[in-house]
């Protein structure tokens, strides 16, 4: 825990970003205007993989710069949150109250931050418990320090999900979110960018990643990795075609993309906060459902050769979801394939990450072993899902 003094002048720090060009009906200092029939949000490019290794952070320098940028008084102390998969965050105690500082990953752009902030403003205008973004002294939504984006948000009340008795509440929370954002969907036809990552480029990246990892593995492990990759590439091609041909019948909207246990806060059984909107983008509604069902409907631990999802819990989740938002039969019928696609999209991102890191710092045997283990586990789960179609249409 560290106290801060006055921030030095820093030519590499600048505040920027607004929501004016993204959500035209919203002023940054006024309540969100009533919804209009026209789409208000324009999604940035769906975030894929390609993260570079995280650089060390000079916290003293960083926090001095940000204290000067924000009108929150003194920043007295801070502590890191549990390490996330792509961002670094801190709980910060300031004169104006407790806030959360998020340092974004290398893929985050100003345009994506503007989109996220506009989405949060819109949700809050409908009473949804999203964390408001603090503006800087000059009204910007973020501060760039050495080219990295930083955003400050209000600390929301509540604790993380740890009780299956709250399943109904979190299911209603996702349904309510989808109901609110459904009016933002453009009337223009949109193809799933996430699903497209399973196509030719995704398969080529899979093969390239395997070629990087195989020479770093023992011979037998390399043989297994290539076999797993062939099966995964085949499933990528199959689902890219199978779901691609059905896209016109599937619902597309601004999905949350990480609505899981770490993204919700509850207090006395009530949903008091929904976090982590940084992956939100226009895509298939089913991908949000697959992520949420995998996160909240576990019948036990996630197994190496299965997915550990309880069908009865899934049906309960969907019943409560439907109390807040409609669910088309076409979306429900596609869930067996969407569950598989969601796993494959994760693999595609892992491949992109490995290739991005290889281009900067040659990978080591330990990196190849970790990559091979991920593919082995996901391949086993894909085989299980292929052999056990996860049908939810009955009684759902």
Series of mean pLDDT values for 10-residue runs along the chain (396 residues): 37 58 34 37 55 74 95 95 76 97 88 94 97 97 93 96 95 98 70 92 96 97 97 96 92 95 96 95 95 88 60 93 96 93 94 92 95 94 82 61
Per-residue pLDDT, 85: 58
Considering 120, 155, 190, which residue would you say is the last residue of a domain? 155
Same domain, 214 and 285: yes
Say if CB 345 and CB 198 are below 8 A apart.
Answer: yes
Q: Is residue 2 part of a domain?
A: no
Q: Is residue 328 part of a domain?
A: yes
Say if CB 288 and CB 256 are below 8 A apart.
Answer: yes
**153, 15, 5, 135: which is closest to 91 by C-alpha?**
153
Considering 155, 181, 207, which residue would you say is the last residue of a domain? 155
- pTM, rounded to two decimals: 0.86
Q: Is residue 196 part of a domain?
A: yes
CATH code (residue 124) = 3.30.200.20
CATH code (residue 224) = 3.90.1200.10
Same domain, 115 and 194: no
Considering 119, 136, 155, which residue would you say is the last residue of a domain? 155
Same domain, 147 and 170: no
Same domain, 235 and 352: yes
Same domain, 285 and 357: yes
Structural domain range at position 357: 164-387
Neighbours of 201 (CB within 10 A): 13
Per-residue pLDDT, 17: 64
């Amino acid at each position: 825990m560290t106290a801060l003094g006055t921030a030095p002048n820093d030519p590499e720090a600048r505040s920027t970003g607004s929501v004016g060009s993204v959500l035209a009906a919203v002023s940054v200092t006024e309540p969100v205007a009533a919804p209009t029939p026209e789409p208000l949000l324009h999604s940035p490019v769906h975030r894929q993989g390609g993260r570079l290794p995280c650089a060390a952070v000079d916290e003293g320098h960083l926090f001095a710069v940000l204290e000067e940028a924000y009108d929150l008084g003194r920043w007295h102390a801070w502590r890191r949150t549990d390490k996330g998969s792509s961002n670094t965050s801190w709980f910060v105690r300031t004169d104006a109250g407790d806030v959360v500082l998020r340092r974004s990953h290398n893929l985050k752009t100003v345009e994506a931050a503007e989109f996220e902030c506009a989405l949060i403003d819109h949700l809050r205008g409908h009473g949804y418990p999203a964390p408001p973004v603090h503006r800087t002294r000059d009204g910007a939504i973020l501060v760039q320090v050495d080219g990295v984006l930083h955003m400050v948000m209000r600390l929301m009340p509540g604790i993380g999900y740890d009780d299956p008795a709250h399943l109904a509440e979190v299911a209603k929370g996702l349904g309510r979110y989808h109901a609110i954002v459904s009016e933002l969907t453009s009337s223009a036809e949109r193809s799933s960018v996430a699903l497209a990552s399973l196509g030719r480029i995704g398969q080529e990246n899979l093969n390239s990643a395997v070629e990087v990892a195989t020479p770093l593995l023992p011979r037998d492990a390399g043989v297994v990795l290539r076999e797993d990759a062939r099966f995964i590439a085949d499933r990528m091609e199959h689902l890219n075609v199978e779901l691609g041909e059905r896209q016109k019948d599937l619902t597309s909207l601004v999905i949350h993309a990480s609505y899981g246990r770490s993204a919700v806060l509850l207090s006395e059984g009530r949903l008091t906060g929904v976090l982590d909107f940084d992956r939100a983008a226009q895509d298939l509604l089913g991908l949000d459902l697959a992520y949420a069902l995998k996160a909240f409907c576990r019948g036990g631990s996630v197994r190496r050769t299965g997915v550990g999802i309880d069908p009865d819990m899934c049906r309960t989740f969907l019943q409560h979801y439907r109390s807040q938002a409609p669910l088309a039969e076409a979306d429900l019928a596609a869930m067996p394939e969407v569950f598989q696609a969601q796993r494959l999209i994760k693999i595609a991102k892992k491949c992109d990450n490995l290739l991005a890191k290889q281009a900067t710092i040659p990978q080591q045997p330990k990196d190849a072993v970790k990559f091979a283990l991920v593919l082995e586990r996901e391949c086993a789960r894909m085989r299980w899902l292929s052999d056990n179609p996860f049908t939810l249409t009955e009684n759902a």
